[in-house]
Amino acid sequence: MLSYIDKTEAIDEPKSARMEQRIKPHVKREIQAAAALLGVDETAFVTTTAYDKACAVIRDHERTKLTSEDRDVLLAALDTPAKPTKALRDAFNLHWESVVNDD
């Protein structure tokens, strides 16, 4: 039997939320087979797998990966910022007048 760690068990809150979905019979059979191989029930398997994937998606979304070249370009741009254009100054003034200084 393969090892299995249910990361959701450590979350200290009651299981009160529900999720339901319709899936294709083939997909259900594969999930059942995988859960059986791990010796866990389908709910634990699906919940833990979805939770792991959700955490990974959020983690990837919050992190920006740069190549060495991209990093160098970014740092150079931060060290020597471009002068603001007229359009940027106009946008800043509009923001100031309509949002910040809305007296």
pLDDT tens-digit profile, the chain (103 residues): 678 888 898 899 999 999 999 999 999 999 999 999 999 999 999 999 999 999 999 999 998 889 999 999 999 999 998 899 999 999 999 999 998 876 6
Q: What is the reported pTM? A: 0.61
Which has the closest alpha carbon to 92: 102, 103, 100? 100
* In contact, 27 and 20? CB cutoff 8 Å: no
Q: Does residue 27 sit in helix, strand or coil?
A: helix
Supply 70's token pair. Answer: 């991209």
* In contact, 6 and 44? CB cutoff 8 Å: yes
CATH topology of domain 7-100: 1.20.5
Q: How far apart are CA 69 and CA 51, in angstroms?
A: 34
* In contact, 8 and 43? CB cutoff 8 Å: no
